[in-house]
Structure 1
Amino acid sequence: MDRPPTAEAEVAAELSGLRPDLAPRYAAALPGARSAVLTRLWRALAHEPLPWVTGREPGRDHLTLRLADGRLLSGPRADPYATAAYVTEVRLGGVAYDDPARLMTALRVPHGGGFAAELGHSAASLALSRAAREPVSRDWPTHDWEWEQRVVDGHPFHPNCRSRPGFSVAEQLAYGPEHRPVVRLGLVPVPAGECLVSGVWPDELRDGERLLIPVHPWQAAHVLKRSCERELPARPLMSLRTLALPCGPHVKTSLSARLTSSVRDISVGSVAASAALSAFAETLAARTDGLLHVTRTLGAATPDSPELAAVLRESPAVYAGPGERVVPVAALATTGLPGSPGWTAEFARLALTVGLRLLESGVALEAHGQNLLVVLSASGAPLRLVYRDLADIRVGPTRLARHGVALPDGLPARILTDEETALRRKLFGSLVAGSLAATAGSAAALRAALDTAVRDLPRTPDLAALCERPLPAKALTLMRLSPGSSGDQWAELPNPLVSQVN
């Protein structure tokens, strides 16, 4: 029986017809893309609580995993905070694998077949992204979307860093931010009386008694199955479904595709809560002595459908002063600044100061490299933080009350929790094991940055938990292999501070 073509072969075939000039660069990029995805997968195999990994036997420079079926899987010693690809192959039962999709297939674990297909798409799409990238200019970008489009490799730790199932090569080139396109958003007219609106919907997106709701062209073609007579040009940001409009604001659109891990629809509940969340966040930001800005949600609208909804919010660039730049944390690596240990420690101190202060007050940010931005001075010093997208924060009512902060009406019940473990996991998993780890780029660099950063911080119970316990991180691979489970699942990573702080 003939085997179906791999994702890599499918992309190569499409690319030869669409962009034959990119075909050789795509082929050359494939080995590095496989290694990048395999490195992320090896991190998961080494550290996540996967039920079919029954033992882990570290050596001086290698790691051996004992599987439930008796086979052994071996590879290099795993650095849970490394962002550079360092795994070129692993050996399963004595057979070498350099392809993450083939490895996952060979493991023969529950739900592994579907995940293997996603890994194949991830490696192929990553190679496509790398094939089309341009050299990074030494000059810092002028526009906010230019910073976003510098991020080529996607999520620094998720094996599905570039998985885009359902997107053809033509659609990836037309919509992927790393390909630097202009996207023509459709404008769907809906009678205002049929829409749920939160905040203020702008006049420029109205047509008499109808609201014009921006829709991503992929969504219009594949989900809504309709054409749009009116369009609006926009620049895609790193989340792909969020775009910068010519007039300045950013618009988040519904996208019923599984990117990385999640289907990117906008729930009706999140539209309803957007104004209340935005006002609440402004109140909290005022408690940080000017160290944090939260982008305001300007308006949100939906005709009671998660498949057609949009959220308008400020561009983070509005919080830049003269000579300053607002840079997504995920794009910091393109500045060269994290190459300085002193700079990374200074950034870590700023981020931890803000994050821990809000956590003490009762709010845990989802401060990963896409949501968190840093305001840089003209010389590159980290001055302040900007946070965007409040949909996945966690709020502790008891902590809020302790600090005299009223819990506003209208917040979604799913974000409310007094469980300290849940609050700490949300912040530490996204900020420390996410943003700071990815900025540092290795366990050794993260240890050095944190060791310096925590010295002058107030010794709160939250800081003690950060310094003395394993670091929580989302078990991203376990979650993809557990389709019947809802909610986040967690891994515990070695804490570089455990031996550094008394």
Structure 2
Amino acid sequence: MDRVDLKPPPAGTADAYAAAPLLNCLLREVAEPLPESGGHRVHRLPGGRLLRVRGTRRPAGPEVHGPDGWRRIGHDELVKLVAEELTRHTGVSNHDLPAEMTDSRDAVAALLTARARATAPEDPYLRSEQCLITGHPFHPAPKARGGGPAAGWLPYAPEAHARFPLVLLGVREDTVVEEGDTSALDTLGEAPAGYRLLPAHPWQLDLVTVDEAFDDGRLIRLGTTSFDTWPTAAIRTVYAPSHDLFLKFSLDVRITNDIRRLWRHDLLKLRRTDAAVTAAFAHGPGAWLSDRGYRTADFAFEELAVLVRDGLREHLPPGTTALLAAGLVEGFEGSPLDGAEDPGPWWEAYLRAVVPPALAAFADHGVVLEAHLQNTLVAVDADGTPVRALYRDAEGVKLLSDVPRAAGWERLVYCLVVNHLCEVAEALAERHPGFDPWPAVRRELARHDLPEAAALRTDPTLPGKTNLLLRWTGADGADARYLPLPNPLADTGEDRSPRR
């Protein structure tokens, strides 16, 4: 990444980016919607205070009502307001999450500064992976980076258009633990006799202590790769275009709901899960980026683990380019959403690409994809028309042999419909006022002989994950809890936006 001068941008810019997802959470999870007034959305908070905002998809300009009327509040005061309301609503106090909210805002400021001085990648795929300044639109602190100084993580931030070589380690052969196909790792460099090659994320090595292993020779340093890798939206997953390879690492940092470590229990079930998904996609219309295998050291099983994932090229139809679905929602230079004069055909093509693979995997193979925005790539042709979906990340996949069918379906609906289709649909509608995206979704669902899909077109509600309450109450990051949201697919003639 180019050297940057960390002079902060205007505070209001970073505040606006950071406030939008926090407001989304607050209004969805604990606020009572009231009639709109003067172009504002008005809500009553648990303590009785009134809060109003402008906008729907990305709320802005929060104001609270007091004795002297409406008063604008900045990000610091918004954090204080959220903490007071959640303490009152849940009866639980939390000192860590408000700090994360502030950290997220400060991280956005650092990212905006660095991004203004950096050079965006020419590849539209990489631009789509690296555009997420807002990030998860329904998380209270989507850009928090563990509270450390920006100088520690900024060189590895995708949002700042970072690129960097990987550190190469040699792991003594008698300490290596691996499963699956890890042969791609051996093409990244050379290890001396008695050692195996193990790449490491440079930030990862700053976060763990393995000094004893270096001292006694179980680990040796072998320099760095001769090529750069690009961090993707997932931050700890990098792409090496020269090798057409993705590598996923452990990072001992909380990002959104979890500490982003490759946990032992997930690695041990990786091959079974990935094999099930690979079989589900063997003859279908979509593609699966297989998590082929992992390699690590027995003395630092989670800390030094690296996961090997398929690259893009063998999964892309000729003449197409992969784009991250989350990038389409956030926006980046060259996005086909900006070039679609008529959103109808584009949206229908998008639905044909992303919906059938996810429903077929569920119905025919008992596989529940984590088909949210950051796990979905969409291959588009030269005109920007979607032709194929590529799904990724076996860690988030559930199998119906392990979970009840109803729970698996609820998770799929949240990931595919609420987290994914709702966001793309509203981004399209925002660009094309008057466009109704939901009839096309109903038609696409009607093509599939699946009882749950038929019910989805009439159910009054959809499941919305409560990220703010989950984090406030200290629930396990993988413990999804849902609240009912109005279902825009239920054609009642009413405005049933899932944000109301």
TM-score (structure 2 length as normaliser): 0.81
Indicate yes or no: 2:477 matched with 1:483.
no
CA contact (8 A) 2:121 2:127 kept: no
Indicate yes or no: 2:105 matched with 1:123.
yes
Q: Distance in 1 between matches of 2:280 and 2:255?
A: 31
Which of 454, 457, 474 does residue 467 from structure 1 map onto? Answer: 457
CA contact (8 A) 1:349 1:454 kept: no
Cα pair distance change 1:158/1:443, threshold 3 Å: farther
Q: Distance in 2 between matches of 1:103 and 1:200?
A: 50
Q: Distance in 1 between matches of 2:192 and 2:455?
A: 53
1:220 Cα deviation after fit: 1.0
1:58 aligns with: 34
Q: Distance in 2 between matches of 1:108 and 1:385?
A: 39
Q: Distance in 1 between matches of 2:81 and 2:470?
A: 18
Letter in 2 for 1:27: P
Q: Distance in 1 between matches of 2:296 and 2:65?
A: 50
> Which secondary structure state, in structure 2, belongs to the residue aligned with residue 59 of structure 1?
strand
Aligned pairs for 1:357-376 (under 5 A) are 357-361=360-364, 362-376=366-380
Letter in 2 for 1:58: L
1:279 aligns with: 275
CA contact (8 A) 2:18 2:104 kept: yes
Consecutive unaligned residues of structure 1, counting only runs of 5 or more, are: 1-17, 398-415
Letter in 2 for 1:73: L
1:231 aligns with: 224
Which of 187, 197, 201 does residue 204 from structure 1 map onto? Answer: 187
CA contact (8 A) 1:76 1:87 kept: yes
CA contact (8 A) 1:104 1:113 kept: no
CA contact (8 A) 2:273 2:399 kept: no
CA contact (8 A) 2:26 2:82 kept: no
1:161 aligns with: 142
Q: Distance in 2 between matches of 1:98 and 1:190?
A: 50
Percent identity over the alignment is 25
CA contact (8 A) 2:54 2:61 kept: no
Q: Distance in 2 between matches of 1:101 and 1:347?
A: 37
Q: Distance in 2 between matches of 1:159 and 1:441?
A: 20
Q: Distance in 2 between matches of 1:209 and 1:501?
A: 70
Letter in 1 for 2:256: T
Cα pair distance change 1:41/1:147, threshold 3 Å: closer
Aligned pairs for 1:357-436 (under 5 A) are 357-361=360-364, 362-397=366-401, 416-420=402-406, 422-436=407-421
1:102 aligns with: 80
Which of 305, 310, 314 does residue 309 from structure 1 map onto? Answer: 305
Which of 120, 127, 133 does residue 115 from structure 2 map onto? Answer: 133
Indicate yes or no: 2:289 matched with 1:295.
yes
Letter in 2 for 1:37: A
Does 89-98 or 466-475 show the bigger shift? 89-98
1:455 aligns with: 443
> Which secondary structure state, in structure 1, belongs to the residue aligned with residue 60 of structure 2?
coil
Indicate yes or no: 2:51 matched with 1:74.
yes
Q: Distance in 2 between matches of 1:154 and 1:240?
A: 11
Q: Distance in 1 between matches of 2:428 and 2:222?
A: 52
Count of aligned residue pairs for this structure pair: 448
Q: Distance in 1 between matches of 2:155 and 2:336?
A: 31
Does 142-151 or 196-205 show the bigger shift? 142-151
CA contact (8 A) 2:17 2:133 kept: no
CA contact (8 A) 1:393 1:426 kept: no
1:230 Cα deviation after fit: 2.2
Q: Distance in 2 between matches of 1:353 and 1:161?
A: 30
Indicate yes or no: 2:264 matched with 1:268.
yes
1:237 Cα deviation after fit: 1.3
Q: Distance in 2 between matches of 1:479 and 1:330?
A: 22
CA contact (8 A) 1:327 1:375 kept: yes
> Which secondary structure state, in structure 2, belongs to the residue aligned with residue 88 of structure 1?
strand
